[in-house]
Amino acid sequence: MLIRLLLAAWLCVIAAPGEAADVQNDQPTADAAKPGKKAKAKDQSKPNDPAKPKKQKKPKSNVPAPDELIDPDGPIDPNLVEQGDGGGGWRFSWKQHPSVRYGSVFRLDGQAKFQEDARSTYEGAVDVPGWELHRNRIGISGHLFKKVEYEVERELTEKELTDKDILAGVTPASHWKDVNVNLTFVKNAQVQVGKFKVPFGLDQLTGVTRNDFIFRSLGANYLAPARDIGAMVHGRFFKHGLNYWAGVFQHDGDNARSKKIQGGDQTFAARVTGMPFRKIASGSIAAIEVGSSFAISALSDDSFRPNGLRGRTVVSQDTFAEPVYVKGRRRRWEADADWAAGPFAARTEYTWVSDDRNGQGLGDENLPDARARSWYVAGVWVVTAEDKMRPLRPAADFLQGGWGAVEVVARMERLWYDSVGPAGVAFRNPRAETILPTGDRVVTVGANWILNRFTKLQVNVIREHLEDSDRNPVTNGGALWSRIVRLQFVL
Amino acid sequence: MLLNRARAFILVLAVAALLPRAVVSQTPAVDPSDALFDDTVLHDINLTINDRDLASLHVNFLSNEYYPVNFAWRGMSLQGVGIRSRGTGSRSGVKPGLRIDFDRYATEQRFLGLKSVIFRNQTQDPSHLRERLSMLFFRRMGMKAEREAHARLFFKNSYAGLYSIVESVDKVFLKKNFGEDTSNLYEFAFDNSVGHVPFVFKYLGSDANLYVPVPFKPETKENDTQPQFIERLIWTIDQAGDASWRQTIAEFLDLPKFIRHLAIESFLAEEDGLTGDYGPNNFYFYRYEGKSLFQFIPWDKSNTFWEAPSPNYFILRNVEDGPVDHRNRLVQRALKYPDLWTLYLDTLEECANSASAGATTGANPQPGWLAAEIQREYLQIRDAALADTLIFTNAEFEKAIADLKVFAAGRSDAVKAQVAAYRARGPLP
């Protein structure tokens, strides 16, 4: 309750006319090292589209929103850093973020992200709170000597384990999110070390506060690895024409783990994105960016519980795909395309995962690989005619001469699980030779109202249809309908 | 036209009335699961399980994690069955008690019509017989109770010990025994943590969540647990005034049936039941559909035949003796009424007569029913029990059997003697 009151007070403060438009471009350059955020950065650096309608609105200022990136390829501009008081020495400023600086040598910015959800789903759903403080994160970021960028982010409301959980041997989720340093001595071969996102998947690598939807696609949430501890080299060439990331990680990401799932072990992952049509086409075609990712992980059966991937519904978190027993290698492959032109944008992504099942049969025999696949197609239209970017910047902020920006969004997706090989008699048990196919087909429609650079209101209506009626929590195999409203503050 | 139709309708009714209804009604419903609980034979059950799962089942015996197996019995096989370690005091990593869920991975999957069965490891009973004898005696006394039989359990054809197969108290059981399965079933979830205060049907307050899911753990309709009925029942048991108690409680409980349950447990010297040493324990509770009426269902009778070989287990144990805060409030209040008190004693006497039925003395003495049943079951399981030394030695097994026989020989007379003494005294003060 206290947090909600603080958030409400915060909203009042930031909604009031003030100096927000005067905020300096003082974004932490550590953000730029994130592979996913790099993918977003091209949104703001796309070549001008000649077909763009003349009437399109332009933002009042070129000041980025709180979680917006500056050009990651660009050098840290000491003039920009020094702007304001000018000169060296310690100083404190609070414009975009509270920031402590020492000349151009050191910088530390404070950050915060809050997301409050109101949710409703099907009748009888268990453990679905009507209200939830979905994210409550604080962090710091900055740089040392302009060549060493750092970032630390912590979730404040991660659920604690119960005594029963601990007795059952479940492990807690980490409160720490991004904790890393990025060394930029060589621009085309930057080195990032620490905890950050494994470079895999367009949707997963898109920052959650910038996403067009309240929830990422199911494939991004359950097949892509997400964060882990590791080291990565990354860079880009041809002015964003070709970007790469390649790294090794301790495990295969938070998404592959849960309280009861151990997850994969040592992981190698690589991702490449590019704009292949930029040189051979013009107009909106040139803006298409394509990407592909690959990851391979070791899989053990050290845990007595199944170590495969799981699938759950979007809001109610009902498990429609239980993990199966796996051992050997996990291979992930992904391909995506991202396009934006004027107020329109579209994305699509296909993900494929297969897990070895060496010695996992009831008679200890090898089983055919377990397989999971997903795809989605998503589209956005900015009704208020701003250029589509992530995050979207209103031409005129709410209560500052305008109504903010409004966009409507829609996404179709599917996530499904089965096993490879010839179809035999299929079973649901986690050591079945032929895994009974199960999946979730989801349609999401919604609208986003960006009041100003700090505040966003999102509304999503989600329809899910589970393909295996036996795992459908709604009787008679009906569809699951959910409605979510999210209020987001980003500092 | 209308008249003709009316005549035809009446004719149809008349013909229907003349149909041989007796033929229809006398056709017994065949329950395929009877074969699995056929107690005239020792069953063999083979579970095919991954080696790692089998090791984990023993190492992580405190976990309720399920493992998939193939289940085989009498040439029949079912794939994709879930098993897990189970039990409270009987949990064991040496010889895990098992819950077998045929529908774990497929909601509609059944085996002989059953959703699940329990494989009791009998780690608290060196004779292996107490529970099976007790449930059989409940049914012999006309009460609804779980069916049981013994089985040799094999993992991948390797002998894993002697188990008793126990019918699960679930929807299948409810439908078979009470004709309905659509209302709330609860398991009394006994809290055996150190220093706990046992729940003795004492009213804890008007918040229904004080009763559900602990100690009354929902087993059906987990999303619609209806705890308010439990709260009203407990209030009535503990708080309703004496003047209206019998009338009020009748809405919730069939008291004569409850007293019968109590008396059977008492005859069987049940140390961990409705009037157990640690407070009330080991029963399921079902509320009939559309009513406030609850039904007790007996569960886990591993601690019957307590103090055997002595047959003198006190028929008012933890009713007139034992710690006051362990005494069952429902029993305390019910046995104050002369008619229920008499019914309790009458039922104990009926138990005594039933257990000793067929006994003769003289030159060729014959054992009573209970003693004969012990001998029959002993001969059935003897070789399998002697081959299973995971928990008890062969000497412990043989001694426990001998103790049961002594108990059975003297229990009826001992109970009759106690009943006679207490008839003279009258109900609880």
Q: Residue B197: exposed, middle, or buried by beta-carbon count in 10 A (0-12, 13-18, 19+)?
A: exposed
C-alpha separations of B306 from A193, A376, B315 in Å: 66, 65, 12
Q: Do A429 and B80 touch (CB under 8 A)?
A: yes
Q: Do B56 and A304 touch (CB under 8 A)?
A: yes
Q: Do B50 and A360 touch (CB under 8 A)?
A: yes
Average pLDDT over residues B378-391: 97
Chain B residue with minimum CA distance to A125: B223
B79 touches chain A (CB under 8 A): yes
Beta strands in A342-388 (DSSP E): 344-357, 367-382
Q: Which of B49, B60, B106 sits opposite A362 (nearest CB)?
A: B49
Residues whose CB is less than 8 angstroms from the CB of residue A241 and which lie 6 or more positions away in sequence, other chains included: A274, A275, A278, A279
Going by pLDDT thresholds of 50, 70 and 90, the confidence category of residue B10 is low
Tokens of A143: 């740089």
Nearest in space to A232 (alpha carbons), one of A185, A197, A201, A186: A197
Least confident stretch, A1-10, A187-196, B142-151, B359-368: A1-10
Q: What was the pLDDT predicted at A35?
A: 43
A436 DSSP assignment: P
Tokens of B407: 């108990």
Q: From CA B223, how far away is CA B119, in angstroms rounded?
A: 28
Q: From CA B254, how far away is CA B234, in angstroms rounded?
A: 15
Q: Computed from CA positions of residues B231, B234, B239, B245, in that sequence, does the dihedral angle turn out positive or negative?
A: positive
Q: Greatest CA span in chain A, whole angstroms? A: 74
Q: Do B107 and A470 touch (CB under 8 A)?
A: yes
Helices B394-425, B338-355: axis angle to 10 degrees equals 140
Q: From CA A113, how far away is CA B290, in angstroms rounded?
A: 50
Q: Which of A301, A325, A362 sits opposite B70 (nearest CB)?
A: A362
Q: Do A431 and B68 touch (CB under 8 A)?
A: yes
- Three-state SS at B373: helix
Q: What was the pLDDT predicted at A165?
A: 59
pLDDT mean for each 10 residues of chain A (491 residues): 42 38 32 39 39 45 42 39 55 84 91 92 82 85 92 80 56 81 94 97 93 96 96 90 96 90 95 90 86 97 92 93 96 97 96 97 95 98 94 91 95 97 85 95 98 94 93 84 95 86
The 10s digit of each residue's pLDDT in B57-75 is 999 999 999 999 999 999 9
B214 touches chain A (CB under 8 A): no
Chain B residue with minimum CA distance to A434: B80
Q: From CA A288, how far away is CA A347, in angstroms rounded?
A: 10
Q: What was the pLDDT predicted at A159?
A: 60
Residue A361 with chain B: CB contacts under 8 Å = 50
Q: For the stretch A333-350, what's the b/e string if a residue is b when 16 or more beta carbons lie within 10 angstroms of its beta carbon?
A: ebbbbbbbbbbebbbbbb
B83 touches chain A (CB under 8 A): no
| Under 8 Å between Cβ of B403 and B396 | no
Residues whose CB is less than 8 angstroms from the CB of residue B250 and which lie 6 or more positions away in sequence, other chains included: none
Helix (H) or strand (E) holding A94: strand A90-94
Tokens of A343: 């107020």
Q: From CA B110, how far away is CA B170, in angstroms rounded?
A: 13
Q: Do B60 and A429 touch (CB under 8 A)?
A: no
Residue B141 pLDDT more than 50? yes
Residues whose CB is less than 8 angstroms from the CB of residue B289 and which lie 6 or more positions away in sequence, other chains included: B180, B182, B183
Percent of chain B residues past pLDDT 90, beyond the cut:
84
Cα dihedral B142, B145, B151, B157 in deg (nearest 10) = 150
Beta strand pairing call for A455-466 and A242-249: unpaired
Q: From CA A49, how far away is CA B35, in angstroms rounded?
A: 78
Q: What was the pLDDT predicted at A18?
A: 36
Q: From CA B96, how far away is CA A478, in angstroms rounded?
A: 40
Q: From CA B131, how far away is CA B147, in angstroms rounded?
A: 10
CA distance B158 to chain A (A): 13
B343 DSSP assignment: H
Residues whose CB is less than 8 angstroms from the CB of residue A164 and which lie 6 or more positions away in sequence, other chains included: none
Nearest in space to A48 (alpha carbons), one of A283, A243, A277: A283
Q: Name which residue leads in pLDDT, B286 or A238.
A: B286
ipTM for this model? 0.75
CA distance B84 to chain A (A): 12
Q: From CA B421, how far away is CA B429, in angstroms rounded?
A: 16
CA distance A361 to chain B (A): 6
C-alpha separations of B83 from A385, B32, B47, B147 in Å: 59, 22, 10, 20
Residue A320 with chain B: CB contacts under 8 Å = none
C-alpha separations of B246 from B40, B253, B258, B334, B401 in Å: 43, 10, 13, 8, 43
Q: From CA B420, how far away is CA B171, in angstroms rounded?
A: 41
Chain A residue with minimum CA distance to B50: A362
B54 touches chain A (CB under 8 A): no
Chain A residue with minimum CA distance to B108: A470
Average pLDDT over residues B240-263: 96
Q: What was the pLDDT predicted at A45?
A: 35
CB atoms within 10 A of CB B358: 13
Residues whose CB is less than 8 angstroms from the CB of residue A402 and which lie 6 or more positions away in sequence, other chains included: A394, A395, A396
Residue of A121, A325, A429, A469 best to disrupt the B interface, most CBs of B under 10 A: A429
Tokens of A394: 């209103």
- What residues of chain B, 218 to 237, have a C-beta less than 8 Å from chain A? 223-224
Q: What was the pLDDT predicted at A386?
A: 94
C-alpha separations of B57 from B51, B54, B92, B118 in Å: 10, 5, 10, 15
Q: What was the pLDDT predicted at A80?
A: 43
Global pTM?
Answer: 0.79
Q: What was the pLDDT predicted at A309?
A: 96
Average pLDDT over residues B155-162: 97
β-pair partners for B188 = B216
Q: What was the pLDDT predicted at A189?
A: 95
Residue B9 pLDDT more than 90? no
Q: Which of B48, B51, B105 sits opposite A428 (nearest CB)?
A: B105
A471 DSSP assignment: G
Chain A residue with minimum CA distance to B104: A429
C-alpha separations of B131 from B114, B125, B145 in Å: 20, 9, 11
Residue A470 with chain B: CB contacts under 8 Å = 106-108
CA distance A307 to chain B (A): 13
Cα dihedral B255, B259, B265, B271 in deg (nearest 10) = 80
Which residue is listed with tokens 């609860």? B186
Nearest in space to B80 (alpha carbons), one of A303, A474, A424, A472: A424
Nearest in space to B42 (alpha carbons), one of B283, B366, B382: B382
- A95-101: long-range pairs with CB below 8 Å, 24+: A95/A19, A95/A22, A95/A23, A95/A24, A95/A26, A96/A23, A96/A24, A96/A26, A96/A27, A96/A63, A96/A66, A97/A26, A97/A28, A97/A66, A97/A491, A99/A26, A99/A142
Q: Greatest CA span in chain B, whole angstroms? A: 86
SS3 per-residue string spanning A258-302: CCCCCCCCCEEEEEEEECCCCCCCCHHHHHCEEEEEEEEEEECCC
Nearest in space to B424 (alpha carbons), one of B342, B357, B358, B367: B342
| Under 8 Å between Cβ of A142 and A28 | yes
Tokens of A482: 């959910």
Q: For the stretch B175-190, what's the b/e string if a residue is b when 16 or more beta carbons lie within 10 angstroms of its beta carbon?
A: ebbeeebebbbbbbbb
Residue of A307, A357, A362, A425 best to disrupt the B interface, most CBs of B under 10 A: A362
Q: Which of B60, B68, B81 sits opposite A430 (nearest CB)?
A: B68
Tokens of B285: 């509770």
B396 touches chain A (CB under 8 A): no
| Under 8 Å between Cβ of A425 and A42 | no
Q: Computed from CA positions of residues B234, B343, B135, B38, in that sequence, does the dihedral angle turn out positive or negative?
A: negative
Q: Do A304 and B50 touch (CB under 8 A)?
A: no
